[in-house]
Chain A
């Protein structure tokens, strides 16, 4: 069994309540940080841990914290991003439902490090049950003296509030989230200024994902250096992976970064293989925005080495043969799934979720969806495939926020790796309505090419 830092006690009955959580060592990190460390020392530990943002971008958390502006007399804010809406990702919901105090404890430690006196947890509106769970946990923590004025007699004061969203994926983008928290439409802001300088109400603000914040608890308990020993290379620590699609045992798993992808999919400790004895055709390894990979490139790098669950290994080969860890939303497709249909489905998602502020994304996402719809339903033309690539390219990199890129990448990568299947939809407009293209050679094992490379 690999080490669990966040989910170690997840199956202990009553762990959602304060008492059991404390019996299992909960709130030690608050005691340690507030009583024995200065805020800067907490930041230092997080830097040492090598923790990278778990919300998708993977930006080093400690470094982000050290960028926070600290002008005299201006409040600073910590805002937790619990808007979790990236298709394939459901780890934050899991954590908040089953072990809410892990987030509350992390919020206290992180707020202390940043010098925030009021912090907000922005939870997507659909998670009303989780909002109630968090509110209850906050009340418990406050009764126990972990929140409010003069926490544990240290003089530090903090209020924690839960804010519901209204139903909009784009509010996961940190500046759209801040707009939404200010009671506005979720239109991402044009940067600069970055939130570290002017965020919530124009004040310096840090936005972090639920899992990043919860991870500060074991980092403070065990020390940043201990945390950094787990994982591989610059991918330190453990990561929650949301596994969905055609897997025998979908769900949320805590892995040590560096676990081979093959082991994650097939071992009984994790997903237990593909459901119903079928074969794997493709995966989206980090949430819907990251490039889709055929089965063979999922399990192996282009040179035949095993691919690992880490920031570096998943992106090995760039977009030509790699993908990204993203938010850790791992979606598996079995041999009977249609890649064209899924690509259309994802592009409908981005079209629906575009905030509409900037023209390439507002108009381009709809265009992509319409062309993909036509292909999926057997009315497509061969030229549509290149048209899609071209429209995706015109959106990518030319928008205000990364949603434009997120809409373009799945389309570009699906055509890059599954072009045959797209062409088949054009050549066989009738057959493709009742049958699937199947596995083809998408799972054909990749041979080690290291020797060949060396000879070149």
Chain B
């Protein structure tokens, strides 16, 4: 059972709705449900995560039942059903990356950020988690940061430290 995290109201801007409309135009008439995944990405980029309120709004916009949105959002790993740090560092933890040290990077992040996988640092800036193969095995270890999904390759503990410092300055 997923618990409701928040009931705060959600408004989609006219600009966002315009982008939804653009996406719907890609599919034949009546197949607007196809827009669900791309629209959820847009909403998450805007709000940082997907609250039930936000998902209900998406359902209303697409004229589908709310459960159809929950089913989808909870199936795919990219959608966050609870708030995350501003920067979610997602490190590949699958075989090929582990052959070249991905586990060390994950351990290092845990010490460095002082939180466990999936938690948020007290300043609200960082979360991290191991994710499955990111299709960059030849450049491992790798990590990505949404919502742009910028890629960082051939990581070392030093380059990760540098990245964290840069992100702190950026925020």
**A interface vs B, CB < 8 Å?**
75, 84-90, 92-93, 118, 124-129, 159, 161, 163-169, 180-186, 201, 242-246, 250-252, 284, 288, 329, 331, 333, 337, 341-342, 345-346, 349, 352-353, 355
- 22 examples of A-B residue contacts, CB within 8 angstroms: A75-B28, A86-B133, A87-B94, A90-B139, A125-B149, A126-B144, A127-B149, A161-B26, A166-B40, A166-B41, A166-B77, A168-B76, A169-B133, A183-B62, A184-B71, A185-B75, A186-B76, A201-B28, A243-B138, A251-B138, A288-B133, A346-B95
The answer for the CA separation of A148 and B7 in the assembled complex, in Å, is 44
Assess whether B137 is interfacial by the CB under 8 Å rule.
yes
Q: Does B111 touch A at the CB level, under 8 Å?
A: no
Cβ–Cβ contact B135 & A245, under 8 A: no
Would you give the shortest CB distance from A126 to chain B, in whole angstroms? 6
Chain A positions within 8 Å of B151 at CB level: 129
Question: Whole-angstrom distance from the CB of B143 to the nearest CB of chain A?
Answer: 11
Nearest residue, chain A, Cβ from B142:
A90
Give the contact stretch, choosing among B13-21, B31-39, B81-89. Answer: B31-39
Q: Which residues of the partner chain A approach B98 to less than 8 Å between Cβ atoms?
A: 341-342, 345
Q: Could you give, for residues 91-112 of chain B, a 1 whenever the CB lies within 8 Å of some chain A CB and a 0 otherwise? A: 0011110111000000000000
B76 touches A166 (CB 8 A): yes
Name B38's contact: one of A163, A349, A353 (CB within 8 Å): A163
Q: Are B78 and A88 in contact (CB under 8 A)?
A: no
Chain B residue nearest to A352 (CB atoms) is B132
Residue pair B138, A244 in contact (C-beta under 8 Å)? yes
Q: Which residues of B contact A346 (CB under 8 A)?
A: 94-95
- For A84, give its contact among B38, B72, B135, B149 (CB under 8 Å): B135
User: Which residues of A are found within 8 Å of B144, using beta-carbon distances?
Assistant: 126
Find out whether the CB atom of B133 lies under 8 angstroms from the CB atom of A244.
no
Q: A127-B149, A166-B76, A246-B99 are in contact. Are A183 and B94 (CB under 8 A)?
A: no
CA distance A166 to B77 in the complex (A): 7
Q: Which chain A residue lies CB-closest to B74? A: A185
Count A-B contacts at CB 8 Å: 150
A166–B96 touching, CB < 8 Å? no
- Least CB distance from B48 to A in Å reads 16
The reply to whether B76 and A349 contact each other, CB–CB distance below 8 Å, is no
Chain B residues whose C-beta falls within 8 Å of the C-beta of A75 in the assembled complex: 28
Q: A128-B149, A129-B151 are in contact. Are A90 and B77 (CB under 8 A)?
A: no
Does residue B148 face the partner (Cβ distance < 8 Å to A)?
A: yes
What's the minimum C-beta distance from A400 to chain B, rounded to whole angstroms? 16
Given A183-B36, A250-B137, 8 more A-B residue pairs with CB atoms under 8 Å apart are A127-B149, A128-B146, A128-B147, A166-B40, A184-B71, A288-B94, A288-B95, A345-B93
Q: Judge whether B96 and A244 touch: CB under 8 Å.
A: yes
B132's partner among A169, A182, A183, A252 (CB-CB below 8 A) is: A169
Pick from A126, A163, A341: contact of B149, CB below 8 A. Answer: A126
Task: Indicate whether B134 reaches chain A with its CB closer than 8 angstroms.
Answer: yes
Q: Chain B residues near A244: list those with CB within 8 A.
A: 96, 99, 137-138, 140
* B135 engages A92 (CB within 8 Å): yes
A250 x B72 contact (CB < 8 A): no
Q: Are B96 and A87 neighbours in the complex by a CB distance under 8 Å?
A: yes
Residues of A within 8 A of B146 (CB): 128
- Kindly provide the distance from the CB of B67 to the nearest chain A CB, expressed in whole angstroms: 11
- CB within 8 A of A337: which of B34, B35, B99? B99
A126 contacts B138, C-beta separation under 8 Å? no
Residues of B within 8 A of A355 (CB): 75
A184 and B132 contact, Cβ closer than 8 Å, known pairs A125-B37, A342-B95: no
